[in-house]
């Protein structure tokens, strides 16, 4: 049983490639895929690309070409929920596309043909990922002084692992009023979003179509506000790949 580890960031992928036993690089659909073993498990590592279409293509290739049995996604996200701070992690319980709107033909956010707006992640895989994420954030709280790294960092505060709804859309959210509007509009419709990113819901949909278990974890790199474009690259360079490395290895050991 091969596990796909889908990374959003090149730094995350290269950190994992460095740990691969029997690494083999293959090109397919203009993307590099790495086959090998991590923590004694057969894996394929891939980069999602940015945005929903690129991520859907990568997920489809992982399933069709590499025959993976499960897909696990790591990356970063903007925190929009109360108390979802830079340096926290969010394990997805389910996914929604915040830019899906085929109204009035279908209710807003509903994915046409699926009779629902939210796609649920695999519960057992998500539970394993949440365990790995919780262990990682508690040890990371002592390791990184996030206040020195990003303005949104919280000095001395314990970082948290959250579990809940993540929203994806083809848009980097980098304005406080936009983040607020996005969150409150969804919340008023019963969707309490913790974080926003640009790929996960697409991968969830592909995995749903193929009946492949899917789980995702996102480290919060910014608050999707007016400083998000500054916080994001700094965080990615310093913290995100280290988080991903720890979480993926701990997850695979428990699989
Ligand atoms: N990924 C990380 N931060 C993000 C943001 N603010 N908007 C969309 N995707 C993100």
222 is catalytic: yes
Determine the Cα–Cα distance for residues 93 and 75; give it in Å rounded to an integer: 15
Separation in Å, CA 1 to CA 72, 74, 210: 13, 20, 16
Each residue's pLDDT tens digit, 88-124: 999 999 999 999 999 999 999 999 999 999 999 999 9
Q: Band the pLDDT of 18: cuts 50, 70, 90.
A: very high
Check 199, 222, 231, 245 and give the catalytic one. 222
Predicted model pTM = 0.93
| Closest CA to ligand 1's atom 2 | 77
Q: Return the CATH number of 3-254, one of 1.10.760.10, 3.40.50.1580, 3.90.1150.10, 3.10.330.10.
A: 3.40.50.1580
Task: Determine how many CB atoms are found less than 10 A away from the CB of residue 11.
Answer: 17
- Residue to substitute in 76, 167, 220 for testing ligand 1 pocket (most ligand atoms within 8 angstroms of CB): 76
192 is catalytic: no
Distance 37 CA to ligand 1 centre (A): 30
Question: 199 CB contacts (<8 Å, ≥6 apart)?
Answer: 8, 48, 49, 50, 51, 52, 54, 55, 73, 75, 168
Distance 172 CA to ligand 1 centre (A): 5
Q: Band the pLDDT of 193: cuts 50, 70, 90.
A: very high
- Start-to-end CA distance of the chain, whole Å, equals 11
Angle between the N-to-C axes of helices 200-210 and 52-64, in degrees from 0 to 180, rounded to the nearest 10: 30
């Amino acid at each position: 049983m091969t596990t796909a580890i889908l990374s959003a960031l090149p730094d995350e992928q290269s950190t994992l490639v460095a740990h691969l036993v029997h690494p083999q690089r293959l090109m397919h659909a203009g993307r590099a895929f790495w086959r090998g073993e991590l923590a004694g498990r057969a894996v394929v590592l891939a980069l999602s690309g940015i945005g929903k279409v690129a991520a859907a293509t990568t997920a489809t290739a992982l399933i069709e070409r590499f025959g993976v049995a499960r897909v696990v996604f790591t990356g970063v996200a903007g925190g929009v929920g109360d108390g979802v701070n830079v340096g926290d992690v969010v394990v997805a319980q389910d996914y929604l596309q915040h830019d899906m709107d085929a109204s009035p033909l279908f209710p807003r956010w509903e994915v046409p043909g699926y009779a629902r707006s939210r796609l649920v992640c695999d519960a057992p895989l998500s539970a394993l990922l949440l365990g790995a994420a919780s262990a990682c954030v508690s040890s990371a709280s002592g390791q990184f002084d996030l206040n020195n790294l990003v303005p949104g960092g919280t000095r001395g505060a314990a970082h948290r692992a959250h579990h809940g709804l993540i929203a994806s859309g083809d848009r980097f959210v980098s304005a406080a009023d936009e983040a607020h509007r996005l969150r409150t509009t969804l919340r008023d419709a019963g969707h309490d979003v913790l974080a926003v990113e640009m790929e996960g819901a697409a991968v969830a949909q592909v995995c749903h179509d193929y009946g492949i278990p899917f789980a995702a974890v996102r480290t919060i790199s910014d608050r999707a506000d007016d400083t998000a474009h500054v916080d994001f690259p700094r965080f990615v360079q310093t913290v995100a790949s280290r988080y991903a490395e720890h979480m993926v290895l701990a997850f695979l050991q428990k699989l």
